[in-house]
């Protein structure tokens, strides 16, 4: 399996609607970074690596909606308060068309890459999207 990245991930706060065969209905989650090849979606309950999902989203500066098949290629579960970064899952876009890839690349061109571990305060977590503070 080739895990080399060919595109730079860019910081993002893009709402994505995910559909999985394991869920009864679609789930709306936030992508914390995105590239023309995939995205990292923050969630405390990620799917297993290898699962397939359908992802629907729009970029901030566009009216067009993207509907793309994706595969879960990475799962991050932060179990300790000292773990860095967010819990979530990395998605690889599988059937993205070349013109869609170009439009996403153009949309994120001026956006900086994410700062590792800067998005999370160690004492704050969320449960089903609701912030919970641990003392």
Q: How far apart are CA 127 and CA 51, in angstroms?
A: 22
pLDDT digits (tens, 9 = 90+) for 30-61: 998 888 999 999 988 889 999 999 999 988 76
CB-based contacts of 129, cutoff 8 Å, min separation 6: none
Q: How far apart are CA 5 and CA 28, in angstroms?
A: 26
- CATH number for 111: 2.40.10.220
How many separate domains does the chain show? 1
The answer to whether residue 3 sits within a structural domain is no
Smallest Cα–Cα separation from 121: which of 83, 74, 79? 83
Enumerate residue ranges in the chain where pLDDT < 50.
118-124, 132-135
Query: 120 lies in which domain range?
Result: 10-133
- What pTM was estimated for this model as a whole? 0.73
The answer to whether residue 4 sits within a structural domain is no
Which run of H or E residues covers position 21?
none
Q: How far apart are CA 29 and CA 121, in angstroms?
A: 19
């Amino acid at each position: 399996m080739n895990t080399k990245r060919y595109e730079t991930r860019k910081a993002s706060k893009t709402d994505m609607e995910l559909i999985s065969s394991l869920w009864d209905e679609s789930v709306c989650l936030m992508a914390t970074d995105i590239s023309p090849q995939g995205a990292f979606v923050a969630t405390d309950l990620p799917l297993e690596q290898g699962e397939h999902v359908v992802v629907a989203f729009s970029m901030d500066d566009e009216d067009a909606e993207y509907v793309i098949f994706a595969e879960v290629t990475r799962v991050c579960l932060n179990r300790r308060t000292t773990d860095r970064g967010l819990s979530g899952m990395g998605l690889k876009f599988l059937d993205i068309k070349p013109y869609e890839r170009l439009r996403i690349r153009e949309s994120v061109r001026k956006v900086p890459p994410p700062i590792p571990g800067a998005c999370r305060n160690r004492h704050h977590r969320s449960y089903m999207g609701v912030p919970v503070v641990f003392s």
